[in-house]
């Protein structure tokens, strides 16, 4: 018997996503290059989740059963697309290189050094090669890419694809993708999504919440509210509490911007700063080992490792190696963005990533900058309890590091933006 409540929630999410997508599809309004970027967003955001929660569980009962096909089939389309895109445009005269994206890409070189100096397996090569390929798209801009518009279209299409695949999964294969919820994180449906390739629905909740800042851009209030509601329904079915923090952050800021459009920049800066402070608390404060469902123990372990090599880090594979020898389950990461990056590539790596983000903000036009600030606020809020921004090795959501660098190339830092009469993030729409 098909569980009725999960099906109803998934159907609601699909309907709302379809409504939001229909509000501002505008495919004919984009240049060929922008269409390519929109397709690429679907390949790196939507496609992996379709395989994790629908196609993969239909084909295999365990991740081990998929062998080398996991995660190859998950990221191969995006990888091939990125390599071809980069190869076609890197030597074109009109192409401009995105300096902030290149700064972020340099963290992959740091990871390459660590992996090259240590024992290297085929798995290590794949975990480095995949993000090296995926991030190539961010490096070259054959023409001006309107990030808040084009990436937004790709994100809304991805949301529709993801919610549609979740609905298909809970209808056709509930035995493998639904499980009784934990007492401390039970959803309205009484069941939560799971997958042999994810362990639980957390990755799905994080995937949809991290596309919200771009997905609501350029939409009117009804479209934005439909997007937020679709994401809320998906997160509720996924049972991700961390994603709930992210959607609350994004929704509050969107509503605040809509209510006080003249203060949008101050609202976004304040939201990003508060979220940043929130994300730093677990990295600094010594919580007890059992607090936050045993995340306290992970944070304590990470701080001890960081103390050994604070400047250069201990390498991106360190946590994985520690899992093999630990007497308790260390999970996939320290479950805090700052601790994960510092442990892997040190404070120097943190500075490099921070420089890339700041440069991107400084060189973006005003409308792009507003969307990026909303993105950062959402990212910081989920980074307190999860590690999703990891550009230097294959992590749970590689798309998180790609989306903010797809727009541009923006303006040079030394040229003042004199455009007047902008209506971005106004009552005419979030743009």
Per-residue pLDDT tens over the stretch 248-267: 999 999 999 999 999 999 99
Residue among 158, 374, 151 nearest 249 (CA): 374
3 state SS of 58: helix
Q: What pTM was computed for the model? A: 0.92
Plot region of 88 (φ>0 → left; ψ -120 to 50 → alpha; else → beta): alpha
CB-based contact 227:16 (threshold 8 Å): yes
Given a cut of 50, the residues of the chain with pLDDT beneath it are 1, 413-429
Is 417 part of any domain?
no
DSSP assigned state of 29: G
**Which string of DSSP letters, residue by residue, matches 392-420?**
TS--S-THHHHGGGSSB----TTS-----
Q: Is residue 411 part of a domain?
A: no
Rounded Cα gap, residues 135 and 168, in angstroms = 30
Domain membership flag for residue 426:
no
Instruction: Tell me what pLDDT residue 26 has.
Output: 66
Residue 273, classed as helix, strand or coil, is helix
Please name which of 355, 332, 387, 320 lies closest in space to residue 115, comparing C-alpha atoms: 320
What is the DSSP code (8-state) at residue 97? E
The predicted structure's pLDDT at residue 34: 87
Residue 95 burial (10 A CB sphere; 0-12, 13-18, 19+): middle
- CA 151 to chain CA centroid, Å, is 13
pLDDT for res 303: 95
Q: Output the pLDDT for position 218.
A: 84
Separation of alpha carbons 159 and 227, rounded Å? 8
| 3-class secondary-structure state, position 367 | helix
**pLDDT in the model for residue 378:** 99
C-alpha 271/C-alpha 252 separation (Å) is 9
The verdict on residue 45 lying in a domain is yes
Q: What is the pLDDT of residue 427?
A: 41
For tokens 């320290």, name the residue: 334
Range of the domain at 66: 4-405
Return the pLDDT at 410.
Answer: 61
Split into its structural domains, the chain has a count of 1
**What 3-state DSSP class applies to 357?**
helix
Domain for residue 431, yes or no?
Answer: no
Q: Does 422 fall in a domain?
A: no
Beta-carbon contacts of residue 192 (< 8 Å; ≥ 6 apart): 178, 179, 181, 182, 185, 186, 200, 201, 237, 238, 239
pLDDT digits (tens, 9 = 90+) for 354-384: 999 999 999 998 889 999 999 999 999 999 9
Tell me what pLDDT residue 326 has.
61
CA of 52: how far to CAs of 76, 231, 268, 396, in Å? Answer: 14, 18, 33, 11
């Amino acid at each position: 018997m098909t569980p009725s409540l999960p099906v109803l929630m998934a159907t609601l999410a699909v309907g709302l996503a379809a409504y939001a997508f229909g509000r501002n599809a505008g495919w004919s309004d984009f240049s060929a290059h922008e269409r390519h970027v929109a397709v690429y967003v679907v390949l790196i955001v939507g496609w992996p989740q379709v395989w994790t929660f629908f196609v993969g569980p239909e084909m295999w009962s365990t991740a081990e059963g998929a062998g080398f096909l996991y995660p190859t089939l998950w990221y191969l389309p995006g990888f091939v697309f990125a390599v071809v895109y980069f190869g076609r445009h890197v030597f074109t005269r009109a192409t401009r290189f995105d300096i902030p994206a290149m700064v972020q890409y340099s963290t992959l070189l740091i990871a390459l050094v660590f992996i090259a100096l240590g024992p290297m397996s085929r798995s290590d090569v794949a975990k480095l090669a995949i993000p090296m390929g995926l991030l190539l798209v961010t490096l070259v801009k054959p023409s001006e890419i309107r990030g808040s518009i084009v990436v937004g279209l790709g994100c809304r299409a991805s949301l529709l694809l993801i919610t549609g695949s979740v609905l298909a999964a809970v209808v056709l294969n509930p035995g493998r993708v639904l499980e009784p919820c934990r007492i401390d994180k039970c959803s309205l449906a009484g069941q939560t999504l799971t997958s042999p390739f994810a362990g639980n629905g957390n990755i799905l909740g994080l995937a949809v919440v991290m596309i919200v800042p771009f997905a609501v851009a350029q939409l009117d209030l009804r479209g934005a509210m439909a997007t937020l509601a679709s994401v809320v329904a998906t997160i509720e079915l996924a049972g991700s509490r961390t994603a709930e923090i992210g959607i609350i952050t994004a929704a509050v800021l969107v509503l605040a911007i809509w209510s006080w459009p003249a203060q949008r920049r101050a609202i976004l800066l304040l939201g990003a700063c508060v979220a940043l402070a929130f994300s730093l608390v677990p990295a600094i404060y010594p919580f007890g080992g059992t607090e936050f469902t045993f995340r306290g123990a992970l944070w304590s372990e990470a701080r001890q490792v960081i103390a050994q090599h604070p400047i250069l880090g201990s390498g991106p594979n360190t946590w994985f190696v520690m899992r093999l020898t630990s007497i308790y389950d260390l999970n996939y990461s320290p479950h805090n963005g700052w601790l994960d990056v510092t442990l892997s590539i040190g404070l120097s790596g943190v500075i490099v990533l921070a420089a890339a983000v700041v440069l991107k903000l400084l060189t973006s036009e005003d409308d792009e900058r507003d969307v990026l600030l909303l993105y950062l606020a959402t990212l910081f809020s989920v980074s307190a309890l999860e590690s999703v921004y990891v550009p230097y090795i294959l992590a749970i959501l590689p798309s998180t590091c790609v989306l903010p660098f797809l727009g541009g190339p923006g303006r040079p830092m030394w040229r003042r933006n004199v455009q007047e009469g902008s209506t971005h993030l106004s009552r005419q729409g979030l743009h």
